[in-house]
Amino acid sequence: MRTRLAAGIAAVVMLVQAVPASAVGPGHHHPEPPHHGGPLHSKTNRWVGSAVAAQHLSAEADYKKVLTREFDSVTPENEMKWGTVEAVRGQYDWSGADAIVDYAKKTGKSIRGHTLIWHSQLPDWVADLEAAELKSVVRKHIADEAGRYRGKIRAWDVVNEAFNEDGTRRETVFQTKLGDDYIADAFRLAHAADPKAKLYINDYNIEGLNPKSDATYELVKSLKRKGVPIHGVGIQGHLSLMYDFPQGVKENIKRFADLGVDVAITEMDVRIPLPVTPEKLKAQADYFGNVWDACHAVKRCVEFTTWGFTDRHSWVPDVFPGEDAACLFDENLKPKPAYFRLYGKK
């Protein structure tokens, strides 16, 4: 595995020394990182990716240029979610997903599929089904989507956000109507549809040691014991400077890896309470860097993906009023201190 992030060790170190993080704030930016037109002098044996929106790929040349230059893996942000591909029963829209898969093929990118089973962005017609029909529809949905991209997806987030903060099962339509076995069934179905894809359970607030990550750990252990084809745990990594950095991130990653599965940071971003200041940008860089370092401390942490790479299109301000600037690049696609913190030290 390789990354296409655009800076060599020596060059980035010189840039970081030349422009300290404290000098960077609104209206001030790091200089453009140097680019070498190919494999970098600085390499990591992790996939380094970003969530991607098909509309921006097609409409914004600068967005596409930076994405292509900087990352070697892409995750469709919304284009593979059930509510997008089959909003109306039996009427499929694969246009956005196909566009991203085509882009990845042309540019040599790996693809993380997101997501097969999730209670959110779910078509209304699915939620209204009775248990027997829902089970049949889930089977068809997974076969249709994972089967369509068979052999083209490196890893799938098969089940997304299955737990509450206290470690209990989230009362989704799948949990309430299909019971605890819906998760194991989803993994078996995904494996049948695409046997070569790595299959993950994915969730937020499981970065550190807490009841939610404990429940995820116990679930993965149970699934492995039963022979269910689960290959990894996806740790989303949606953090905020409003809260302390999670405790025990490296230990948490290691305990998952010790179960014999891979671990991926799948949706990393760090929200900043407005206004943005140089001090907050430095703190953001530390949060990103701490997760990056924890991942690199565990061999089976195989991926570091951010949820978008530019503040121009971040989901954060719409969902978290008063917070923004959560990505590695600003609205003008200039790298922020967090970018240099990651790639200047690995």
CA distance 98 to 322: 35
Residue 38 in this model has a pLDDT that exceeds 50: no
CA distance 178 to 295: 34
Matching residue, tokens 């200047």 = 344
Banded pLDDT at 85 (limits 50, 70, 90): very high
Closest CA to 76 of 104, 106, 105: 104
Which of 30-34, 120-124, 192-196, 237-241 is least confident?
30-34
Domains in the chain, please, with CATH? 9-343 (3.20.20.80)
Contact present, 15 and 271 (Cβ < 8 Å)? no
Q: CB burial class (10 A; 0-12, 13-18, 19+) of residue 267?
A: buried
What is the Cα 20 distance to its own chain's centre? Answer: 29
Q: Give buried/exposed letters for 119-146 (b at 16+ CB in 10 A, else e).
A: beebbeebeebeeeebbebbbebbeebb
Confidence (pLDDT) at 43: 59
Active site residue 161: yes
Q: CB burial class (10 A; 0-12, 13-18, 19+) of residue 213?
A: buried
Whole-model pTM? 0.88
CA distance 61 to 328: 18
Q: Give the active site residue among 161, 207, 303, 323.
A: 161
Matching residue, tokens 């570091």 = 304
Which of 10-19, 63-72, 85-94 is least confident?
10-19
CA distance 138 to 73: 27
Q: Give the active site residue among 86, 145, 267, 303.
A: 267
Confidence (pLDDT) at 252: 98
- High-pLDDT (> 90) share of the chain, %: 85
Active site residue 77: no
φ and ψ of 329, to 5 deg = -120, 145
pLDDT tens for 212-258 read: 999 999 999 999 999 999 999 999 999 999 999 999 999 999 999 99
CA distance 135 to 117: 12
Rounded to the nearest integer, the mean pLDDT of the chain is 89
Residue 345 in this model has a pLDDT that exceeds 70: no
